[in-house]
Structure 1
Amino acid sequence: MDSQVSNGSGLEAEHITNLLVFGFLQSSKSNFQQELKALGHDLSVPVYLDSDLEDELQTDGSRASRSYPGRIQPDSVSQEEIIQSIAHHLAQVGDEMDHSIQPTLVRNLVAQFMNVSLSEEDRRNCLAKALDEVKTAFPRDMENEKGMLIMTLLLAKNVATHSPSLLRDVFQTTVNFINQNLLTYVRNLLRNMDRSNL
């Protein structure tokens, strides 16, 4: 049995969240593409999430057969594509909500992430406090979990945009925060998308 599969439920939680956060950041307009590319290689993100190959893959309709260490087995590729699709959709919705995040909030979050004495738990708490401050910006017709997920991803994007050197730290904290607080919602998104694609 593949180490990426547990109880037949598909991809491991952290890998799902890694792909989701990475896909969101890649789908967003940003100034940290070089750092994101390096992070993608370190995470063994599937090659079709690599922006350098995106046009080539869309043109010929096939997937490159390159592999990375720890790459997921081919039977999980459809789930990876679904996660990529979800991330892209969330980034599009996020573009419309991005203006509601105050620059001072981002600067404060950047300063907190630059504080090397903060633990990972402290960073997650900083992210949670920032999220509380932007909750009022959620569209009224959006479910709370979706708003929280998008705003969490937007905060990560804005921190990395402000200080690209913080990308790895904010990426890991965001993955941990989502796994701790929004994993059920993410799994439901994946399950619902999977069913609609059958």
Structure 2
Amino acid sequence: MDSEVSNGSDLRNEYITNLLVLDFLQSFSDCKFHQELRTLGQELPVRTYLEGEREDELQTDGNRASLFMGRIEADSESQEEVIQNIARHLAQVGDEMDRSIQPELVNELVARFMNAGLSEEDRSNCLDTTLKAAMQTYPKDMENEKTMLIMTMLLAKKVANHTPSLLHDVFRATVNFINQNLFTYVRDLVRNEMD
């Protein structure tokens, strides 16, 4: 596979996941990390990537390529809106699930994230371990991938709410975890909403 194609796909995945996690976290008004979230939103290349995508992806037929493989989408703004709507919906479902996450799991995850010596992979593994433990306490009345996606983003919210200074680290670990483990599900959610 051509490395440029691979990198482009990775950028698309990261763009989609950045926007999803950012909008999910912004859906909660009762959080203690609003200032950190505002700063993070300004630092992320979310909209910059879209603008670059519009310029770089002009096809031979004059159409612009979509962020979603194999489809032509003229309006990237509608893609952002779809992702934002998905994030808001997942946050609403997450409100009901929030109470099922045991505080001691969050405290352990916060303690691990406070270790400055952890690599991104280590942080992702910590998130994975905590997610598995949290999944044990939640009823199985929802598809597994959806539950994992919501619980992963809820754990990020809870860590950032506990210690707002960890928002950047937990955000990055969450995006990486989703891209490695749940991105096919996320991409399918977006595709289904756009159809």
Q: Normalising to structure 2: TM-score of the pair?
A: 0.80
Aligned 8 A contact 1:160 1:170 in 2: yes
Report the counterpart of residue 33 of structure 1 in structure 2: 34
Aligned 8 A contact 2:14 2:175 in 1: yes
> 1:45 and 1:169 mapped to 2: Cα distance?
17
Q: 1:96 to 1:44 in 2, by over 3 A?
A: same
Unaligned runs of 5+ in 2: 55-73
Q: For the aligned residues, what is the CA RMSD?
A: 2.0
> 2:45 and 2:120 mapped to 1: Cα distance?
23
**How many residues are aligned here?**
167
Q: Deviations over 1:122-170 (max 9, x none)?
A: 1111000001101123332200000000000000000000000000000
Report the counterpart of residue 12 of structure 2 in structure 1: 12
Aligned 8 A contact 1:97 1:137 in 2: no
Q: Deviations over 1:65-124 (max 9, x none)?
A: xxxx54534821111100000000000000100001111111110010010111111111
What SS does the corresponding residue of 1:169 show, helix, strand or coil? helix
Unaligned runs of 5+ in 1: 47-68
Q: Normalising to structure 1: TM-score of the pair?
A: 0.79
Report the counterpart of residue 44 of structure 2 in structure 1: 43
Equivalent position amino acid for 1:180 in 2? Q
How far residue 192 of structure 1 moved from its aligned partner, in angstroms, is 0.7
Aligned 8 A contact 1:94 1:151 in 2: yes
Residue 159 (structure 1) aligned with residue 154 (structure 2):
no
87-96 or 135-144: bigger deviation? 135-144
Equivalent position amino acid for 2:92 in 1? Q
Report the counterpart of residue 58 of structure 1 in structure 2: none
Report the counterpart of residue 124 of structure 1 in structure 2: 124
Report the counterpart of residue 150 of structure 1 in structure 2: 150
Within 5 A, what are the aligned runs for 1:1-198? 12-28=12-28, 29-46=30-47, 69-72=48-51, 73=54, 75-195=75-195
> 2:23 and 2:49 mapped to 1: Cα distance?
18
Taking every aligned residue pair, what percent have the same amino acid on both sides?
A: 65
Instruction: Show structure 1 runs of 4+ deviating over 6 A.
Output: none
Equivalent position amino acid for 2:33 in 1? F
Equivalent position amino acid for 1:97 in 2? M
How far residue 45 of structure 1 moved from its aligned partner, in angstroms, is 4.3
